[in-house]
């Protein structure tokens, strides 16, 4: 037994922190985790989970419309935001309880207060108590970044969007990334008029160009307005509650809500990093080595606060590997290759491996195969929305090095296909696989 109060003190009970805590405790470590807000972190409380539930809710708009062509007479089509919001928030609270239970079941002490670093082995709690730990893990995540714009206090972020009192009739969404495109789809389906504003002339930088173009084309056809190369001068609230936005690069805008989704910043403010000697990078990220160790040997960091890949499953892997390496006999490093990712837009995009342009830069000669089709369900429904799948193949080895998809259920389909890319399978292996008919996924093995 060490002379410390705990073997491990984790700051932040999000996905990564919870995983690290329970795995370390499973290895016999005495573990405490501090959380200043709610157990579960961004993903569970105000990120992936409630967002996905809103995406499901939003889908009903199309499904109810399409139902008529499938013989269903659905007379009532009124959407009640308050019902969905409250049900989603209740589900979040249920999950929060389950996360807390998991920690307790694994004998992790949960301390519901803010914790900061007071030294290489010392943590100060908001209540004034100081505790010692053999190792400290920082898993404080990230938060939405808000640029300096006059009247920015009238804007909301993804933190507040789940709590809106009423559904905005007109919403302006700022940014062209994950959150902006996901909420553009959600609010559009709920019946809001959506204007998406981005500083550049592109959306979803980093995704395959063809998928981005297709999402943009479908979104415009649905009625979402896009303003590119535009930025904000000021936001003012008028007497009737309307927000007036003075713009540069496009006409001024009016809306009932403005949602900023222009990236996220690591949560490092007033954590005591400087005094403890923990090095921080230019983007505010905590610098760590491959074993998640910071510049102070007893202090580690995982997840979004390290700004490597800002995805929940990555933070979970990092937390698990950290705990296995420090308290068990496991490997400290994780494999960041071929991490699949998805944008839950309408329709969703899913991707794994290299984009066509990245592959071309890496390998020189590549081959691409595409399937541009209308899903069977869309055809009968009279929905003129086409899906696009693309395989990127290294010509020299025949290996499939990237798969990119936009269309219904693309993320569900891609998860299985990502195994093939990760395993280094060849195009010939895809060709040799018999199609599962009739599905959308069969397109993956039918591209010639
Ligand atoms: P993203 O990093 O995805 O996109 C940021 C957008 O904001 C870009 O379009 C960028 O423009 C623009 N932007 C960046 N800085 C500024 C600025 N100073 N002023 C104006 N515009 C700016 O950010 P999100 O907030 O959408 O999401 C944050 C992260 O959360 C994602 O990167 C992702 O890792 C994670 N996430 C993942 C989800 C998923 O897996 N489905 C869902 C939601 C979030 P441009 O590129 O044109 O320069």
What whole-number distance in Å separates Cα of residue 374 and Cα of residue 346? Answer: 15
Q: What is the pLDDT of residues 424-442, one digit of tens each?
A: 999 999 999 999 999 999 9
Pocket test for ligand 1, best of 45, 47, 146, 175 (most atoms within 8 A of CB): 175
- Contact present, 343 and 349 (Cβ < 8 Å): yes
- Evaluate if residue 110 carries a pLDDT over 90: yes
Residues 215, 196, single domain; the answer is: yes
How deeply is 224 buried, as exposed, middle or buried, from its count of CB atoms within 10 A (0-12, 13-18, 19+)?
A: buried
CA 190 vs CA 38, 170, 180, 203, 222: distances in Å = 28, 11, 15, 22, 12
Does residue 333 form part of some domain? no
CATH number at residue 83: 3.50.50.60
Q: Can you list the alpha helix ranges (DSSP code H) found in 140-232?
A: 178-190, 209-222
Q: Looking at the structure, tell me whether residues 16 and 116 fall in a common domain.
A: yes
The answer on pLDDT for 67 being more than 90 is yes
Residue 76 has pLDDT above 90, yes or no: no
Point out the residues that are catalytic.
437
- Whether 332 is covered by a domain: the verdict is no
Q: Report the C-alpha gap between 346 and 47 in whole angstroms.
A: 17
Residue labelled with tokens 């730990």 = 133
Using DSSP's 3-state secondary structure scheme, residue 177 falls into coil
pTM: 0.97
Q: Pick 392 or 77 by higher pLDDT.
A: 392
Same domain, yes or no, for 77 and 51?
A: yes
The per-residue pLDDT for 1 is 57
Q: Check whether 9 has a pLDDT greater than 70.
A: yes
**d(C-alpha 213, C-alpha 208), whole Å:** 9
271 located within any domain:
yes
Number of C-beta neighbours around residue 306 at 10 A: 25
Domain co-membership, 210 together with 81: no
Q: Which domain holds residue 427?
A: 347-445
| Residues 139, 273 within the same domain | yes
- In the numeric block, which tokens belong to residue 247? 């713009």
**What spacing in Å lies between the alpha carbon of 177 and ligand 1's midpoint?**
4
Percentage of the residues of the chain whose pLDDT score is greater than 70: 100
Mean pLDDT for 56-64 is 96
Based on the domain organization, do 135 and 275 belong to the same domain? yes
Q: pLDDT tens digits, residue range 331-384?
A: 999 999 999 999 999 999 999 999 999 999 999 999 999 999 999 999 999 999
Please tell me whether residues 269 and 139 are part of one structural domain.
yes
User: Could you count the other beta carbons within 10 Å of the beta carbon of residue 17?
Assistant: 30
Q: Average per-residue pLDDT in the chain?
A: 97
Is the pLDDT score of 176 beyond 60?
yes
pLDDT at 135: 98
The mean pLDDT value for 217-227 works out to 98
- CA 144 to centroid of ligand 1, rounded, Å: 9
- Largest Cα separation within the chain, whole Å, is 71
């Amino acid at each position: 037994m060490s002379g410390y109060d705990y073997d491990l003190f984790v700051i932040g009970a999000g996905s990564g922190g919870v995983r690290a805590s329970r795995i370390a405790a499973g290895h016999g470590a005495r573990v405490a985790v501090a959380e200043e807000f709610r157990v579960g972190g961004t993903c569970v409380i105000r990120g992936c989970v409630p967002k996905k539930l809103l995406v499901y809710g939003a889908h009903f708009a199309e499904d109810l419309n399409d139902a008529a062509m499938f013989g269903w007479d659905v007379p009532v089509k009124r959407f009640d935001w308050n019902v969905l919001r409250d049900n989603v928030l209740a589900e979040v609270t249920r999950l929060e309880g389950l996360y807390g239970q998991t920690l307790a079941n694994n004998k992790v002490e949960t301390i519901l207060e803010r914790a900061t670093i007071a030294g290489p082995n010392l943590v100060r709690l908001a209540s004034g108590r100081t505790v010692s730990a053999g190792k400290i893990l920082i898993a404080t995540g990230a938060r939405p970044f808000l640029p300096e714009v006059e009247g920015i206090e009238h804007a909301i972020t993804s933190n507040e969007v789940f709590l809106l009192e009423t559904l905005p009739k007109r919403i302006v969404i700022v940014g062209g990334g994950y959150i902006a495109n996901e909420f553009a789809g959600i609010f559009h389906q709920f019946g809001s008029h959506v204007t998406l504003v981005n500083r550049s002339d592109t959306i979803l930088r980093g995704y395959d160009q063809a998928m981005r173009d297709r999402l943009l084309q479908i979104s415009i056809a649905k009625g979402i307005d896009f303003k590119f190369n535009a930025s904000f001068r000021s936001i003012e609230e008028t007497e009737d509650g309307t927000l007036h936005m003075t713009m540069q690069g496009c006409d001024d805008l009016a809306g009932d809500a403005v949602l900023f989704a222009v990236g996220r910043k690591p949560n490092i403010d007033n954590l005591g990093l400087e005094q403890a000697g923990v090095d921080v990078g230019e983007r505010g990220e905590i610098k760590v080595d491959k074993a998640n160790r910071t510049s102070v040997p007893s202090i580690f960091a995982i997840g979004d606060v390290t700004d490597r890949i800002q995805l929940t499953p990555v933070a979970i892997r990092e937390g698990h590997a950290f705990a296995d390496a420090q308290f068990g006999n496991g490997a400290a490093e994780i494999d960041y290759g071929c991490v699949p990712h998805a944008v839950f837009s309408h329709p969703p995009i899913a991707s794994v491996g290299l984009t066509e342009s990245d592959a071309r830069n890496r390998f020189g000669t590549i081959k691409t195969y595409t399937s541009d089709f209308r899903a069977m369900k869309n055809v009968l429904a009279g929905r003129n929305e086409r899906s696009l799948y693309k395989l990127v193949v290294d010509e020299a080895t025949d290996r499939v090095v990237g798969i990119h998809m936009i269309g219904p259920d693309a993320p569900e389909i891609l998860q299985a296909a990502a195994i093939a890319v990760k395993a280094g399978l060849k195009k010939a292996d895809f060709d040799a696989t018999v199609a599962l008919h009739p599905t959308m996924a069969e397109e993956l093995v039918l591209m010639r």
